[in-house]
């Protein structure tokens, strides 16, 4: 059995590096145009060149998204963009529109093409059609069960790859094809500008009683009627792998570097543990604890085990659960002195109990005993974003290790 790919989001260059270092086999990202996350940091050509080199030097792949549903004006500049990303060496383009598909085939005939989940592929016959027209990978719709996925796999040529989402936010609309944002906020989600109205609070108003708002449910807090729980399949790694898919995808190009690294590391460990000893694999609860330390909503298994019900929605809030704070990233560690050079991300104080998370292996816990700033002055608090801090650590910290603490 060929080992399944772990595919991570990369909203910017730093997130790409964190994803790769913490165990992703591949990353997906967007340029400054043509992707469905226009509000993510995204990549200039210069950043993309650096990111592709960083990934390829470590044996990892980079896929670029062009999965908007383009209007006529969006076609302008596409051929030049395709040529440039092809020359940089991206490993595949992810798209959903037949016109963009034909443009990529014409402009970069050797480029591998992946069909986005936006194309709503829910059956083997549709997948076979795309395969026969040159698609190398299908990102299946989120609305499929594991049983359906296995049947699709069994009916397709072995060299057609299948990709599924395993973790992250779920969309209220069918495979993300949503018009609600465009209608309510004049922001087209199908062109990368979703305002996320599915996360808003809604009330009921009777036409002859303007200004009188009634909760849709008998709840004084109102209701978030479209607000889905987050997908989390870390407890079901054997079932996912045995469905025959090629790639396991984590959602989250808008999420933080801390989120990307934390979630990728947990899934990396779970996947590797399964392949080491399939017959005796046992789920380790620490993996679920780890993904829960990144910001998240309550978790669901989506459609994979059964059809979704009211239990897969969150009606009382659209807020994230944030139990841990991301404090900083280790840029260097002097093994002789035990001093780490840290780029601060959130305020930290002398006396804070922190967890130091290396890209590989277990985290360790200690208190911050002292800190110095870039001028070698002793400080009791690191208050400035991305300031350089020197701090003694009790154990070795690798480059890109993260510091975190439990929220107060």
Residue ranges per structural domain of the chain: 5-171+228-309, 324-406
How sure is the predictor about 227, in pLDDT bands with cuts at 50, 70 and 90?
A: confident
Of residues 207 and 359, the one with the higher pLDDT is 359
- The CATH label, of 1.20.1730.10, 2.40.30.10, 2.40.50.140, 2.40.70.10, for the domain at 324-406 is 2.40.30.10
35-45 per-position pLDDT tens digit:
655 555 678 99
Q: What is the DSSP string of 117-166?
A: GGG---SHHHHHHHHHTT--EEE--TT--HHHHHHHHHTS-TTSEEEEEE
Sign of the torsion angle spanned by Cα atoms 349, 260, 20, 15: negative
- CATH topology for 5-171+228-309 is TIM Barrel (3.20.20)
Tell me the C-alpha distance between 227 and 319, whole Å: 10
> Could you write out the DSSP letters of every residue in 341-364?
EEEE-S-EETT-EEEEE-SSS--E
Identical topology for domains 5-171+228-309 and 324-406:
no
**Within 10 A of 301 (CB to CB), how many other CB atoms are there?**
18
Q: What is the pLDDT of residues 367-395, one digit of tens each?
A: 999 999 999 999 999 999 999 999 999 99
DSSP per residue, 30-44 = -BSSSSS-TTS--B-
Q: d(Cα 99, Cα 95) in Å, to the nearest integer?
A: 10
**Tokens representing residue 353 in the block:** 């109990």
Per the CB < 8 A criterion, the answer to whether 241 and 272 are in contact is no
DSSP codes, 368-406: ---EE-TT--EESEE-STT-EEEEE-SS---TT-EEEEE
Q: Give the tens place of pLDDT for each residue, 153-205.
A: 999 999 999 999 999 987 776 566 666 767 667 677 666 677 776 767 776 77
Helix (H, G, I), strand (E, B) or coil at 213: coil
Question: In whole angstroms, how far apart are CA 348 and each of 14, 98, 353, 407?
Answer: 21, 50, 10, 11
């Amino acid at each position: 059995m060929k080992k399944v790919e772990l595919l991570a989001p990369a909203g910017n260059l730093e997130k790409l590096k964190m994803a790769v270092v913490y165990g992703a086999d591949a990353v997906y990202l967007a340029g400054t145009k043509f992707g469905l996350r226009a509000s993510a940091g995204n990549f200039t050509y210069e950043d993309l060149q650096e990111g592709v080199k960083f990934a390829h030097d470590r044996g990892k792949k980079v896929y670029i998204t062009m999965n908007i549903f383009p209007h006529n004006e969006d076609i302008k500049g596409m051929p030049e963009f395709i040529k440039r990303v092809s020359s940089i060496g991206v490993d595949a383009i992810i798209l959903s529109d037949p016109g963009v598909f034909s443009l990529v085939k014409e402009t970069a005939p050797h480029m591998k093409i992946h069909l986005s989940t936006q194309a709503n592929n829910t059956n083997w016959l549709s997948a076979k059609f795309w395969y026969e027209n040159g698609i190398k990978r299908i990102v299946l719709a989120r609305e499929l069960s594991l049983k359906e996925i296995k049947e699709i796999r069994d009916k397709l040529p072995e060299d057609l790859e299948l990709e599924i989402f395993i973790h992250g936010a779920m969309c209220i609309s069918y495979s993300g094809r949503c018009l609600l944002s465009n209608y309510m906020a004049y922001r087209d989600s199908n062109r990368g500008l979703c305002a996320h109205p599915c996360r808003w609070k809604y009330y009921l108003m009777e036409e002859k009683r303007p200004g009188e708002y009634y909760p849709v449910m008998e709840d004084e807090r109102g209701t978030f009627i479209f607000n889905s729980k987050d997908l989390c399949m870390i407890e079901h790694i054997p079932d996912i792998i045995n469905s025959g898919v090629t790639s396991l995808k984590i959602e989250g190009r808008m999420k933080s570097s801390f989120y990307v690294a934390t979630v990728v590391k947990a899934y990396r460990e779970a996947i590797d543990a399964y392949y080491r000893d399939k017959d005796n694999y046992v789920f380790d609860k620490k993996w679920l604890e780890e993904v829960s330390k990144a910001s998240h909503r309550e978790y669901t298994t989506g459609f994979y085990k059964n059809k979704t019900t009211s239990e897969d929605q969150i009606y009382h809030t659209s807020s994230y659960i944030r139990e841990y704070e991301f404090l900083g990233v280790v840029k260097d560690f002097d093994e002789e002195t035990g001093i780490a050079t840290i780029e601060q991300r959130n305020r930290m104080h002398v006396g804070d109990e922190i967890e130091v998370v290396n890209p590989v292996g277990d985290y360790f816990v200690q208190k911050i005993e002292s800190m110095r700033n870039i001028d070698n002055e002793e400080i009791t608090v690191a208050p400035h974003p991305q300031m350089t801090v020197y701090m003694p650590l009790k154990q070795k910290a690798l480059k890109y290790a993260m510091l975190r603490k439990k929220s107060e």
